[in-house]
Amino acid sequence: MDRSTSSDAQLAAEILACSPSAVVVQDADGRVVAANPAATQMLGAAVDLRTGSPLGCGILGCHSPGTRLEELCVHKLARAQDAPLPPLRVDLPAGAAFDVASATVTALPSGSGLVATELRRATTHLARERPGSSVWTGQPQLRVFVLGRTCVMNGDEALDGRWVNNRAGHILKLLIAERHRSVFSDEIIGWLWPRESSPDTRGVRYFVHELRDQLEPGGAIDPPSSFVISTRGGYALDGTRVWIDADVFEQLVSEGSALAGEDDARARDLLREAVVMYRGDFLADEPYAEWALAERDRLHDLASGALRTLAEIETRGDDLVGATSTLVRLTELEPFDIDIHRELFALLLRRGRRSETLRRYETLRRRMLATFDERLDFSLSQLV
**Mean per-residue pLDDT for 213-239?**
76
Burial 227-244 (b: 16+ CB within 10 A, else e): bbbeeeebbbbeeebbbb
Whether 384 has a pLDDT exceeding 50, the answer reads yes
Residue 334 DSSP label: S
Q: Please give the helix or strand (H or E) that residue 244 lies within, else none.
A: strand 242-244
pLDDT score for 27: 87
SS3 sequence of 154-189:
ECCEECCCHHHHCHHHHHHHHHHHCCCCCEEHHHHH
Pairing state between β 115-121 and 22-26: antiparallel
pLDDT score for 251: 93
Mean pLDDT, rounded, of the chain: 83
Per-residue pLDDT tens over the stretch 93-137: 777 777 777 788 888 876 678 888 888 776 544 444 444 444 444
Whether 34 has a pLDDT exceeding 70, the answer reads yes
Listed in sequence order, the DSSP H helices in 44-96 are 74-79
pLDDT score for 200: 67
pLDDT higher at 252 or 233: 252
- Per-residue pLDDT band for 266 (boundaries 50, 70, 90) equals very high
Name residues whose C-beta falls within 8 Å of residue 198's C-beta, 6 or more positions apart in sequence. none
Per-residue pLDDT tens over the stretch 55-92: 777 777 777 776 556 667 878 877 777 677 766 777 77
Residue ranges per structural domain of the chain: 3-137, 140-293
pLDDT score for 122: 62
CATH topology of domain 140-293: Arc Repressor Mutant, subunit A (1.10.10)
pLDDT higher at 238 or 220: 238
pLDDT score for 40: 83
What is the C-alpha R_g of the chain?
A: 26
Instruction: Name the CATH superfamily, with its identifier, for domain 3-137.
Output: PAS domain (3.30.450.20)
pLDDT score for 12: 54
For the entire predicted model, the pTM comes to 0.65
pLDDT higher at 224 or 259: 259
